[in-house]
Amino acid sequence: MSALNLYDTATREVGEFQPLIPGEVSIYVCGATVQAAPHIGHVRSAVNFDILRRWLIWSGYEVTFIRNVTDIDDKILQKAVIEKMQWWALAMKYERIFSAAYASLNVLPPTYEPRATGHVTQMIELMETLIANGAAYAPGNGDVYLEVRKLKRYLTLSGQKLDDLQPAGDVDANNSKKRDPRDFALWKAAKIGEPSWPTPWGAGRPGWHLECSAMAHTYLGEAFDIHAGGLDLIFPHHENEIAQSEAAGHKFANRWLHNAWVTQSGEKMSKSLGNTLQVDVILQRVRGIELRWYLGSAHYRSMLEYSEAALDESAVAFRRIEHFLNRATEILGTHPAPVVNDAFCAAMNDDLAVPAALAGISENLRVGNQAITDGDKDAIGKNASEIRGALSILGCDPFDPNYTLENSTNLSDALNGVITLALKERTAARERKDFAASDAIRDGLLELGITIEDTAQGPRWSMTEKS
């Protein structure tokens, strides 16, 4: 099997992945700031890096996967006022909604899921180190800043120049206590009515960037294999994580992976644009397995342009695959055992080239359906097994227990039962030579996107795109 090659945002090249410790992979993914319900732009990152994790596990690695929760932040405090809740209650409310969204998309739970508020001690220790070695300073008002002009490698991830940057947005740019307007806050002095924690420099709360550096170091040590997150986090968040971690003497992340955005009308999904699509709303339109199939179908570094038509087309395509697997199970008398073929391995080892992997699944589907027509059980089993193997890595195996109870039993089986009933009525109409009724049933199913094929073994149905 070929070696795994992954893109590195820092080097801007695809290269062979070699873990720091043979047989083990350590990953830190920036999780949610829990101040609102997730839209599909938020969870695309979770799906993309869950595919990476599943592929690493299948490849034989022991994976430690950290996904943090930012549960203290300006936006959380502001939203708590709007919703008339305690800030911690609001954070817990939306953390649970995010967790439900991840579960509905069959995203594996992280090895550890640390909250920022549970790691203030580690943040204080990190600031003490940074102040002691001269990289950070406390001007006496409760704030603590990182002095960016003392950093040798600042902005290497994003490729920007320091003098071209606007002043850091975490405080007033005219604040005379900052040595440079581009210095960013590690710690923010307490304000009236806001939560705070005591420190040697005064009460306050953590800066966003400090949280992730402290938590990554706590769970993964001074160096780890992969840091991942959305494209929008490269600057300032990930750039500042690198700055404060390396200034403390930590090697930090060995490789950086970033997934692209979900866009709508060419613009990044965001609440400010008013074009958000919440996960729970979309799940009223398609099943979780279908939404995951859609979100995971594009290459993780490619933009995914959302439209209802594209989502519907993707869902129909997945149902065709699911229908084939169900037909294969009926014919073989058992679920096909997952098998990962060489073509799928080559695609995944080429920087997680999911579109190429999907092309292989499409070919398996074509050959498998022909095998059903031909009555070739060996070919049916081979192609069904290879499809199921690929789907298991993509997190879209319809026989996965995480899906079967909610999705297959409640929806797929119900759909199959309704269509089977309609086909029985059509067969009865044909037997009594009521061809008008038979044609009406066929045309009604076709209008719903269901094609009927009369075969020697009886009528078969399949999903098609509605015209």
pLDDT tens sequence across 211-240: 999 999 999 999 999 999 999 999 999 999
Q: Work out the pLDDT band at 416, boundaries 50, 70, 90.
A: low
Domains in the chain: how many in total?
A: 2
Residue 356 CA to residue 347 CA, distance in Å, equals 6
Among 225, 259, 293, residue at a domain's last position: 259
Query: What confidence category does residue 467 fall into, taking pLDDT thresholds of 50, 70 and 90?
Result: very low
Residue at 367 is within a domain: no
pLDDT at 457: 59
| 183 is a domain residue | yes
Spatial neighbors of 227 by CB under 8 A, at least 6 apart, are 27, 28, 29, 216, 238, 241, 252, 253, 255, 256, 257
Is residue 267, in this structure, part of any structural domain at all?
A: no
Q: What SS3 state is found at 229?
A: strand
CB 107 within 8 A of CB 62: no
Residue 357 forms part of a structural domain: no
Q: What is the pLDDT of residues 313-347, one digit of tens each?
A: 999 999 999 999 999 999 999 999 999 999 999 99
Residue 390 resides in a domain: no
| 242: containing domain | 5-259
Helix (H) / strand (E) element for 371: namely helix 354-374
Mind listing the pLDDT tens digit for each residue in 32-59?
Answer: 999 999 999 999 999 999 999 999 999 9
In the listed set 259, 275, 310, which residue is the last one of a domain according to the structure?
Answer: 259
Is 354 inside any structural domain?
A: no
CATH assignment of the domain containing 33: 3.40.50.620
How many other C-beta atoms are found inside a 10 Å radius of the C-beta of residue 420?
Answer: 12
Using pLDDT thresholds of 50, 70 and 90, give the confidence band for residue 94.
Answer: very high
Average pLDDT of the segment spanning 424-429: 84
Is 141 inside any structural domain? yes
Looking at residue 423, its pLDDT comes to 85
Could you say which of 202, 226, 259 is where a domain stops? Answer: 259
CA 388 to chain centre: 21
